[in-house]
Amino acid sequence: MKVVLPDGSPLELPDGATGADAARAIGEGLARAALGVRVSQDGAEPDLRDLTAPLQDGDAIEIVTARSAEDGMGPLWLIRHDAAHVLATAVMELYAGVKISIGPPVEDGFYYDFEFPEGVKLTEDDFERVEARMLEHISADEPFERSELPAVEAIERFRAEGQDYKVELIEDLVRDDGVRTVSLYRNGPFTDLCRGPHGPSTGRIEAFKLTSVAGAYWRGDASRQMLTRVYGTAFLSKSDLEDHLRRLEQARARDHRKLGRELGLFMFSDLAPGMPLWLPAGTQIWNELTRLWRTTNVERGYVEVRTPILYDVDLWKRSGHWQVYRDKMYFTDVEGRAMGLKPMNCPAHCQIYRNELRSYRDLPLRLAEQGLVHRHEPSGTLHGLLRVLHITQDDAHVFCTEDQIEDEVMRCLDFGFFIYDQFGFKPRLELSTRPEKRVGSDEMWDKAEAALRRTLEENGLEYELNEGDGAFYGPKIDSHMTDAVGRSWQLGTVQLDYYMPEQFGLTYVGADNAEHRPVMIHRALMGAFERFIGILIEHYAGEFPLWLSPVQAIMLPIADRHVEYAREVAGRLRAAALRVEVDERSESVGKKIREAEVRKVPYMLVVGDQEQSDGTVAVRRHREGDLGAAPVEEFIERARDEIDRRAR
RNA sequence: GCCGGAGUAGCUCAGUUGGCAGAGCGGCGGUUUUGUAAACCGCAGGCCGUCGGUUCGAGUCCGACCUCCGGCUCCA
């Protein structure tokens, strides 16, 4: 038979030859380096397989080595999958009676989920022991051997071993996918139910490390058994592992919680979990964002409103929140009247819509509010500014006719792109469709989902589909960004809603002089100021662009006799609306500079005898160093320009 | 909410087998008058997360709760 190599050249092999045979036929070195083989049949997407898998005539193949591209299923995927099995091998040997569940490779590493016997637990203190045992198996270079077994026999076998999770997995495979045989992989003493593929042997795991232990629900279902998940990572070389660990450490240095404390941006109180207290410097950033929010909303035809945070429960019953969102709301009693803190601004904006008779000429009506909402999230999910209990949204509701939907949705998306562009953000888009817990008819959902999809596709926007994750009243297009350590967070959202206008009896008078029902687009672009600032802090690692910096310039007089000149210059800068401080302490210039650098103040203006007599400042830029002297006016002009352009 | 870990000075962290609460940075006072990333000397600073228990004696051992951290589930 013949297979085709990546360069297009054919390779003649005996029938039944495997990937390993192909590698050997090409060269002894490649055979030694081979970890797996990518096989593509009839031009289809290549499939990663074991080296021992037989090839077929006409296959296009590529031998995977440590140097192959990763793109999702490559050498790292293989050895991390291998490492997960080795981890299970070690844990089974060290802890009698442990039950195994699943252990896949993931972004940055792998994990394996275990159920330990009553009273036994594994903590990070045990890692050394487990890693030592893993290393024994890796040093022994045990081959991964694949075998196939009828599903019934596999069930029997795992049941006899007390491996209930494996039994459940196979039973589901049989029931849901009609599977009749399953594959097993053995390495040394350990055999696991596994689809594969795997590398040739355990010895190919060049560098690995266990990283953390955490709880995880069996099959991600919160109503089921909590298992113990051990996370680890593996690399193709020791230096790759070291680089990875170093990157993680650097990422932790830009954690917004750490920077928030160091830079005095915000704080938390044990007496108000999940609700940040904004310090003066953080408030400054908040206010700059508010300014951006307000001016851009006005430019795009929005009008700003303000609404109560506390509303009669009747409103929440009308909007549907009481029915499907109650668990996340806070309620209180006011003179015997049940009131709820708002988790969203939409019902209040519907009230404002209803306040007047609306004409089709008024539409689209775009109401914007910096709305403070409270949502009771499970306590374990709080995370600095990125997950809070009180959320300040850059919220807006666009009331429009059905004909205007696509145009208005696109305007919202465009507006979002403009905002993200101010910071150089390139968010990922996600289309979320009808959830199980929802309100409104299927017909409404069909229309709404189709409209969003059409808007995305007609405008050539890339998006991922997230089925079943829409808001309870309508589908949505979300934008997502990742934090310093790669966790993904939703920022903006554009949601299409046919339901609330109906519930609140919203109407407009059309050109035909008849009453019509408007539709409503809910949208937030930054999402929440809290989360957005958290992401900003990590994005900039605390080194904000000038326009956002809490302190934009600091005057550093060299000796006490220069303080007065420093104050005078500071006054001129303030007159140009620059945020400036004067470091009047009797410290050395070196120390003042160091502290200003640590505080990440963008401009340090050193003034001594020279500057005082010339009417200049010696400009030092954060991280860049000394830029030389400049007349005060010239510096002001430069800084003003940088701010007004919102330079990044 | 669930699983695991942690909580000592403003910050970062030591604290032995249960026996007087510690360091560096920061703060304050003084000396120094400084030219581009840390001058020198001194001083103050603690409900050892909270409550309860064991003990002659608890930062240390036990329990409950609170908060935080890493995950899971859930979400802007």
Query: Which pLDDT belongs to residue A567?
Result: 95
The pLDDT of A601-611, averaged and rounded, is 96
Q: Annotated active-site positions of A, please?
A: 346, 375, 393, 395, 397, 476, 522
Q: Strands A553-557, A580-582: parallel, antiparallel or unpaired by DSSP?
A: parallel
pLDDT beyond 80 at A199: yes
Q: What is the DSSP string of A106-150?
A: ETTEEEEEEE--TT----GGGHHHHHHHHHHHHHTTPBPEEEEEE
- Any strand B atom closer than 7 Å to A589 CB: yes
pLDDT of residue A445: 92
**Which whole number is the average pLDDT over A416-432?**
93
The answer to whether the bond into A117 is cis (omega within 30° of 0) is no
Kindly indicate the confidence band of residue A123, based on its pLDDT and cuts at 50, 70 and 90: confident
- CA dist list (Å): A341 to A309, A315, A376, A474: 6, 11, 10, 22
CB A46 within 8 Å of CB A72:
no
pLDDT of residue A121: 83
Residue A343 backbone dihedrals phi, psi, to 5 degrees: -95, -10
A605 — pLDDT class (breaks 50, 70, 90): very high
Q: Give the per-residue pLDDT at A376.
A: 94
From the alpha carbon of A388, which nucleotide's C1' atom is closest?
Answer: B76
Q: What is the mean pLDDT of residues A556-573?
A: 95
Q: Which of A489, A465, A492, A481 is nearest to A426 (CA)?
A: A481
Cα separation of A235 and A204, whole Å? 10
A486 Cβ contacts chain B strand, under 7 Å: no
Percentage of chain A exceeding pLDDT 90: 87
| Residue A154, SS3 per DSSP | helix
Please say if the pLDDT value at position A41 is more than 90: no
Fold adopted by A2-64: Ubiquitin-like (UB roll) (3.10.20)
Query: What is the pLDDT averaged over residues A238-259?
Result: 91
- Going by pLDDT thresholds of 50, 70 and 90, the confidence category of residue A109 is very high
What integer is the mean pLDDT of A365-394? 95
Among A62-76, A267-281, A397-411, A591-605, where is mean pLDDT lowest? A62-76
Q: How much is the pLDDT for A437?
A: 87
Q: Token pair 């091998």 is at which residue?
A: A89
CATH class for domain A553-644?
Answer: alpha beta
CA distance A537 to A483: 9
Q: Within 10 Å of residue A403's Cβ, how many Cβ atoms?
A: 11
Q: Report whether pLDDT(A296) > 90.
A: yes
Whether A629 CB is under 7 Å from strand B: yes
CA closest to B71 C1', residue = A214
C-alpha–C-alpha distance, residues A585 and A263, integer Å? 20
- Please give the pLDDT value at position A399: 97
A471 CB and strand B closer than 7 A: yes
Contacts of A195 (CB under 8 A, 6+ apart): A183
All CATH 3.10.20.30 domain ranges of chain A, comma separated, are 2-64
Across A482-489, average pLDDT? 85
With a cut of 80, say whether residue A36 has pLDDT above it. yes
- The pLDDT value recorded for residue A323 is 92
Which positions of chain B lie under 7 Å from any protein Cβ?
1-5, 7, 11-12, 31-39, 66-76
**pLDDT for residue A484:** 81
CA of A187 to C1' of B69 (A): 36
Which nucleotide is the nearest neighbour of A627, by CA and C1'?
Answer: B36
CATH 3.30.930.10 domain range(s) in chain A: 267-540
**Percent with pLDDT over 70 in chain A:** 100
User: CB of A228 under 7 A from strand B?
Assistant: yes
A 310-369, residues with C-beta < 7 Å of strand B: none
Is residue A518 over pLDDT 80?
Answer: yes
Average pLDDT, whole number, for chain A?
94
* pLDDT for residue A118: 81
A224 is near strand B: CB distance < 7 Å: no
Provide CATH 3.30.980.10 ranges for chain A: 75-244
Provide mean pLDDT across the span A545-560. 96
| Cβ proximity of A140 and A184 under 8 Å | no
Nearest nucleotide to the CA of A390, by C1', is: B76
User: How long is the CA A17 to C1' B60 vector, in angstroms?
Assistant: 66
Domain A75-244 fold is Threonyl-tRNA Synthetase; Chain A, domain 2 (3.30.980)
In CATH, which of 1.10.150.120, 3.30.43.10, 3.30.930.10, 1.20.120.1460 is domain A267-540?
3.30.930.10
Q: Express each pLDDT in A579-602 by its tens digit.
A: 999 999 999 999 999 999 999 999
Structure tokens, A396: 């807006």
Q: How far is the CA of A254 from the C1' of B27 (A)?
A: 26
Position A327, amino acid: D
Cα–Cα distance for residue pair A315/A371, rounded to 1 Å = 17
The band of A107, judged by pLDDT with boundaries at 50, 70 and 90, is: confident
* pLDDT tens track for A69-105: 887 789 999 999 999 999 999 999 999 899 999 999 9
Q: What is the mean pLDDT of residues A145-170?
A: 94
Rounded distance in angstroms from the CA atom of residue A225 to the C1' atom of nucleotide B73: 12
pTM: 0.93
